[in-house]
Homo-oligomer: A and B are copies of this chain.
Amino acid sequence: MEKLDVLTGKYGEEGDRLIFKILNSGNYLDDAQRKQFDFGQPQAAQRLLPMVSEKALRYDLTVPFARYVVMNHHLLAFPFKRYQIQPVWRADRPQAGRYREFYQCDVDVVGSDSLLNEFDLVQIAEAGFSGLGIHGVTLRINNRKLLQGIANWFGAGDRFVEFITILDKLDKIGEEGVFKEWAEKEFTVDPGKYERFKRLNGKSALEKVDYLRALLNSDGGNHDAEAGLNELGFLFSLMNNLDFTSVTPELDVFLARGLSYYTGCIFEAGVEDFGGSILGGGRYDNLTGVFGQPGLSGVGISFGADRIYDILQKRGLARQAAASELKIMLLNFGGVGQDTALRVLLGLRKAGFSAEIYPDGHVKPGKQFQYAEKVGFTHAVVIGDLEVAEQACNVKDLAERRETRIPIAGVIQHFSEIRNRA
């Protein structure tokens, strides 16, 4: 929850609309009634808003983070690094991969403009995805300065956001569409230049940097392009030192997300079998300026936890992660057996095993076994009055449906051996 005025105006007009507002508590109409608010006037809802709502739900984690940094500036050591995993809310129409309430996992460094921070964030992306077993992630990287430099070269530097936004649609509307939209917005683009520009397709990141360095300076010095290419060249050279197992970094000169606020590197990651980005981020040179603290540069990435979870589910990785552990259920038949089973349970837990006893002794064994399988226990231990009399019990491997008879006193030892073998 944030004060509404902390969020308003930070995400554009569309964003303002999508912020969930919280109704003031108590008699929330008090203020409006005292001011004799006229509910019949045009745009009444919009004008009434500041009188009935002062708080709102986080729209992302970046703006609240900037607010936090400014409020606690005197307490923090810069460069300040933090991660934050929390829900955010958007009053959007829900659809596949787009939720009204979802979790973002943000990692940011603020107060340092070194590109080593960008390098760290790439490592965190790789560590995050490989840790979850998600392979085949394409991490597209670009730089706003390069985009400006490209627009400069095409003679569109003064309206570069508009120009690039159209270029960014290449995938969706094709070359013809891009040229049509450029023409509609009165951009005159030399087709020959465009052809030469296109020749960077298929090159590696460092080849692209070299090719663009020559190309974009061909009409004279292009300071923006040079700055962007220097940053990208340095970052991609560093990345040659890393072993990527999950992430493949790519220089995508068309990537233009968040042009309204990013000032340097831009990141976006996705996988082929799932639409929509699963990570986004970039550098913003003046993160905290809007809250009265200029001069602090920040760079960050945000993992989309819900979409990542969707991928885990879709690929069957969520189950796999849990399946490697032993999960032991003791059956329960009440009576003396229950006392013994409880003693074994406590012993197993003390030895670090995940173990539970079926709570209700009156339920039939068949139903207890069914429960164990449905919940995903790996083993069931059967201790009833008879087993206590014989001081021996059956341990059932639920995956392999194999039963072993062992002394009750040896149950912990038995599972320790299984654990050690794994």
Contact = CB atoms under 8 A, between A and B. Distances in A.
Interface stretch (A109-117, A143-151, A152-160): A109-117
A78 to B, nearest CB: 8
Given A25-B17, A123-B349, A359 B116 contact: yes
A385 B57 CA distance: 50
A371 interface: yes
A359 B25 contact: no
A18 B26 CA distance: 9
Given A1-B89, A45-B28, A241-B343, A53 B112 contact: no
Contacts of A113: 360
Interface string A355-391: 0110111000000000100110000000000000000
A350 B264 CA distance: 29
For this chain, the copies found in one complex come to 2
B33 A39 contact: yes
B45 A374 contact: no
Interface string A18-61: 10111101111110110001011000110011001101010000
A360 B79 contact: yes
A23 to B, nearest CB: 4
Interface string A310-349: 0000000000000000000000100000000011001001
Interface of A: 1, 17-18, 20-23, 25-30, 32-33, 37, 39-40, 44-45, 48-49, 52-53, 55, 57, 77-79, 81, 87, 89, 91, 100-101, 109, 112-114, 116-117, 120, 123, 238, 241-242, 332, 342-343, 346, 349, 356-357, 359-361, 371, 374-375
Contact of A360 (B17, B22, B114): B114
B359 A79 contact: yes
Contacts of A91: 25
Contact of A112 (B28, B32, B360, B375): B360
A20 B55 CA distance: 10
A67 B25 CA distance: 25
Contacts of A346: 241-242
Nearest to A27: B45
Given A1-B20, A18-B25, A241-B343, 5 more contacts: A21-B23, A22-B57, A23-B23, A116-B342, A241-B346
Nearest to A37: B39
A280 B81 CA distance: 35
A11 to B, nearest CB: 14
Contact of A101 (B1, B109, B112): B1
A91 B28 CA distance: 13
Contact of A117 (B26, B87, B100, B359): B359
A33 B48 CA distance: 13
A71 B49 CA distance: 34
- Most chain B Cβ neighbours within 10 Å, of A45, A78, A120, A375: A45
Given A238-B342, A241-B343, A374-B77, A361 B114 contact: yes
Contacts of A52: 23
A299 B359 CA distance: 12
A284 to B, nearest CB: 16
15 contacts: A18-B25, A22-B22, A29-B45, A33-B44, A77-B371, A78-B371, A81-B356, A112-B359, A113-B360, A114-B359, A116-B342, A117-B359, A120-B356, A123-B349, A242-B346
Nearest to A38: B39
Given A112-B359, A359-B114, A53 B17 contact: no
Nearest to A334: B114
A336 to B, nearest CB: 14
Contacts of A117: 359
A107 to B, nearest CB: 13
A117 to B, nearest CB: 5
